[in-house]
Amino acid sequence: MLFNVIPRSRYLDILAEGQEGIVTFPTYIPGSYVIRELERNIIEIEGVRMSKNKFYVKSKFKYRIYTLSKDQREAISTRDYLFINPASVFPFQDINEKYCVQIETSWNIITPLKKEGNFYCGENYHEFADSPIEASPFLKEIKIDDLHSISTIDEIDISAIRKIVEEADKIIKPKEKYIFFFRRSDKNYGGIEHKNSSAIVVSWERKDLSELFAHEYFHRLNVKTLIPKDLVHNYEREIYTDLLWFAEGFTDYMALLISLRAGLDTPEEALRGILSSLYKLTFPGAKIMSLAESSYTTWIKYYRQDENFLNSSISYYNGGLSLAFYVDIKLTKNGKRIDEIFKRLPNRYSFSDIQGVLDKLGFYESDLVYSPARKILDSIKEEISLEFMDKDKPYYGIMLDNNKIRFVEDNSPADNAGLLPDDQIVAVNGINKPLEVKDEVNLTVLREGRLKDVKISSGRNPGHALRAKIDGKIAETIFGKNEVKAEYTSSIL
Task: Catalog residues that contact Zn ion under the rule CB under 5 A.
Answer: 248
How far are the Cα atoms of 95, 115, 259 from residue 98, in angstroms, in the given order? 8, 13, 38
Nearer to Zn ion, 214 or 470 (CB): 214
CA angle (266, 270, 276) in 5-degree steps: 140
Q: How far is the CB of 354 from Zn ion (least distance, A)?
A: 17
Yes or no: say if 335 and 267 are a contact pair by the CB < 8 Å rule. no
Cα four-point dihedral sign 131, 132, 137, 138: negative
CA 80/CA 204 separation, integer angstroms: 20
Fill in the DSSP letter of residue 133.
Answer: E
Which one, of 223, 358, 349, 368, lies nearest residue 294 by Cα? 368
Nearer to Zn ion, 220 or 374 (CB): 220
Nearer to Zn ion, 136 or 297 (CB): 297
Q: How far is the CB of 219 from Zn ion (least distance, A)?
A: 6
Nearer to Zn ion, 248 or 328 (CB): 248
Nearer to Zn ion, 211 or 248 (CB): 248
CA 320/CA 50 separation, integer angstroms: 41
Q: How far is the CB of 198 from Zn ion (least distance, A)?
A: 9
Q: How far is the CB of 380 from Zn ion (least distance, A)?
A: 22
Strand-pairing partners, residue 12, are 7, 65
How far are the Cα atoms of 169, 242, 328, 348 from residue 111, in angstroms, in the given order? 22, 32, 37, 27
Nearer to Zn ion, 198 or 297 (CB): 198
CA angle (366, 370, 376) in 5-degree steps: 70
Nearer to Zn ion, 290 or 298 (CB): 298
Q: How far is the CB of 276 from Zn ion (least distance, A)?
A: 16
Q: Residues with Cβ < 8 Å from 84, sequence gap 6 or more?
A: 5, 12, 67, 75, 132, 133, 134
Nearer to Zn ion, 248 or 293 (CB): 248
Q: How far is the CB of 192 from Zn ion (least distance, A)?
A: 8
Nearer to Zn ion, 244 or 398 (CB): 244
Strand-pairing partners, residue 134, are 83, 110
Q: How many CB atoms lie within 10 A of CB 148?
A: 22
Q: How far is the CB of 223 from Zn ion (least distance, A)?
A: 7
Instruction: Give the CB-side neighbour count of residue 76, counting CA atoms within 13 A.
Output: 16
- Which residue's Cβ lies closest to Zn ion? 248
CA 174/CA 168 separation, integer angstroms: 10
- For residue 76, the one-letter residue type is I
CA 356/CA 369 separation, integer angstroms: 14
Nearer to Zn ion, 45 or 192 (CB): 192
Beta strands in 196-286 (DSSP E): 197-203, 227-228
Nearer to Zn ion, 224 or 374 (CB): 224
Q: How far is the CB of 362 from Zn ion (least distance, A)?
A: 28
Q: How close are the terminal C-alpha atoms of the chain, in Å? A: 57
Yes or no: say if 323 and 406 are a contact pair by the CB < 8 Å rule. no
Q: How far is the CB of 190 from Zn ion (least distance, A)?
A: 8
Yes or no: say if 14 and 100 are a contact pair by the CB < 8 Å rule. no
Q: How far is the CB of 280 from Zn ion (least distance, A)?
A: 17
Q: How far is the CB of 193 from Zn ion (least distance, A)?
A: 6
User: How many residues in total does the chain contain?
Assistant: 493
Helix (H, G, I), strand (E, B) or coil at 362: coil
Nearer to Zn ion, 109 or 165 (CB): 165
Q: How far is the CB of 31 from Zn ion (least distance, A)?
A: 7
- What are the φ/ψ torsions at residue 129 (nearest 5 degrees)? -70, -20
CA 223/CA 424 separation, integer angstroms: 43
Yes or no: say if 443 and 435 are a contact pair by the CB < 8 Å rule. yes
